[in-house]
C-alpha cells in the first residue's frame, strides 16, 4: 500500500494517479549572512535575503520583486521567447508531459495549484494535456500569483479558453509562503515554474506546499539551474548578462528588471542544494535514495545542459 506503491505510480515521470477528492476552488551585521541565516529556527523568518546580487532586509524583498513583475507583466511572454530563443516553451511542454495531469483514465478530477502562475501558460498546458491526452474534463487548476498585474494577464488570457467557461479555472492572489486560504491536504499537484527563485523564504514556501498537498500528492518545480559544462556555462553567462538586459531595455524599456532576473537566476541554489531543501521539507525525492548513500546524484532532470531543471517531491502516504 504505502508510499512505494502509490508514489511509484505518481512519479514514473510520465504518469501520476489522482484521488477522487473534491477539487480546490480558490480557495546581524558583524557576522556573515550565511552564519546569521543558519542560526535561525525553521519557523523564524530570514533577517536578510538576496535581491539579485544585492543583500537587503528580507522585509523589503516582496515589494521589490513585486515592482519588477508589475513592470514586466505586459511583455512577459514576449520577453521569455526572446530571452530563451523560444526554448522555454519546450521546457514547459516537457514539464507538463512528465506530470501527465488527468492520468490515468478514468481517474480524473485533479486539484492542481499552479503557484506563481503569472500569465497562465502552465495552467493552459495542464488543462490541454488532461483534456486531449487523458480525456479528463473535470480536473481543475487554481492559478495563484502574488502579483496582481501578472494575475490580471493570466485572467485576460485564460478567459478566452473553453476551460474558463467550463469552470475549470480559478485565480488566487496569494503569497506562496502563506497559503492560508488553501485547505490542508486539498491539492493533488502543486506546480511552480520559474517563480520560486523570487521567493523570500523558500523553505517556508516548501513547507506550505507540503501542507496543502494530499498524502501522495506531488510538488513539481521547473526552475533555472546550474549549467553542467564549463564551456557551455561561459557562453550561457555571456548571453545572460550581456544580451538579456539589453533586450529588456530595447523591447520592454526596462533594463533594471531584467538585470535583476539574470542575477536571481545566478543566485539560485544548485540542483543538489535545491533537491536537499525539498527533502528537508518532508518530501520523498523520486530517483534519489538518501538513506543508503547511493543518492549523491539524481533526483532531478536537467534540461538543455542544466540551464533549467525539473524537480519533484512526493508527500509520503501515512
Pick out the residues of the known binding site for S-adenosyl-L-methionine.
119, 145, 175-176
Residue-by-residue DSSP string for the chain: -THHHHHHHHTSSS------SPPP-----SS-HHHHHHHS-TTSPPSEEEETTEEEEHHHHHHHHHHHHHHHGGGHHHHHHHHHTTHHHHHHHHHHHHH-TTPSTT----EEEEET-TTSHHHHHHHHHHHHHH-----EEEEEES-HHHHHHHHHHHTTSHHHHTT-EEEEE-BTTB-TTSPTT-EEEEEEES-GGG-S-HHHHHHHHHHHEEEEEEEEEEEE---S-HHHHHHHHHIIIIIHHHHIIIIIS-HHHHHHHHHHHHHSPPHHHHHHHHHHTT-B-TT--GGGT--SS-SEEEEGGGTEEEEEEEPPP-
- Whole-angstrom distance, CA of residue 110 vs CA of residue 113: 10
- φ, ψ for residue 227 (rounded to 5)? -65, 135
- Whole-angstrom distance, CA of residue 111 vs CA of residue 114: 10
User: Residue 201's Cα: distance from chain center in Å?
Assistant: 14
- Whole-angstrom distance, CA of residue 152 vs CA of residue 158: 10
Amino acid at each position: 500500500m504505502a508510499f512505494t506503491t502509490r508514489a511509484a505510480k505518481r512519479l514514473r515521470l510520465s504518469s501520476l494517479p489522482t484521488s477522487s477528492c473534491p477539487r480546490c476552488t480558490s480557495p546581524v551585521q558583524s557576522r556573515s549572512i550565511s552564519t546569521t541565516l543558519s542560526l535561525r529556527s525553521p519557523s523564524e523568518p530570514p533577517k536578510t535575503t538576496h535581491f539579485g546580487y544585492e543583500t537587503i532586509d528580507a522585509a523589503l524583498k516582496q515589494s521589490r520583486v513585486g515592482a519588477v513583475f508589475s513592470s514586466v507583466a505586459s511583455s512577459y511572454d514576449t520577453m521569455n521567447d526572446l530571452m530563451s530563443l523560444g526554448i522555454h516553451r519546450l521546457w514547459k511542454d516537457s514539464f507538463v508531459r512528465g506530470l501527465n495531469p488527468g492520468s490515468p483514465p478514468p481517474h480524473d478530477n485533479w486539484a492542481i495549484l499552479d503557484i506563481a502562475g503569472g500569465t497562465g501558460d502552465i495552467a493552459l498546458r495542464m488543462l490541454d494535456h488532461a483534456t486531449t491526452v487523458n480525456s479528463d474534463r473535470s480536473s481543475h487548476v487554481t492559478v495563484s500569483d502574488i502579483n496582481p498585474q501578472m494575475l490580471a494577464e493570466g485572467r485576460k488570457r485564460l478567459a478566452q479558453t473553453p476551460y474558463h467557461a467550463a469552470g475549470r479555472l480559478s485565480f488566487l492572489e496569494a503569497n506562496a509562503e502563506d497559503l492560508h486560504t488553501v485547505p490542508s491536504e486539498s491539492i493533488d499537484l502543486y506546480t511552480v515554474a520559474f517563480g520560486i527563485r523570487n521567493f523570500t523564504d523558500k523553505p517556508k514556501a516548501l513547507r506550505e506546499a507540503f501542507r496543502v498537498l494530499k498524502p501522495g500528492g506531488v510538488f513539481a518545480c521547473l526552475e533555472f539551474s546550474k549549467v553542467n559544462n564549463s564551456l557551455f556555462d561561459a557562453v550561457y553567462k555571456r548571453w545572460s548578462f550581456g544580451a538579456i538586459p539589453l533586450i529588456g531595455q530595447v523591447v520592454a524599456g526596462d533594463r533594471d528588471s531584467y538585470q535583476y532576473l539574470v542575477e536571481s537566476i545566478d543566485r539560485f541554489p544548485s540542483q543538489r542544494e535545491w533537491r536537499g531543501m525539498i527533502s528537508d521539507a518532508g518530501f520523498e525525492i523520486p530517483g534519489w535514495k538518501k538513506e543508503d548513500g547511493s543518492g549523491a546524484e539524481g533526483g532531478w532532470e536537467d534540461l538543455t545542459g542544466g540551464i533549467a531543471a525539473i524537480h519533484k517531491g512526493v508527500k509520503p502516504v501515512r
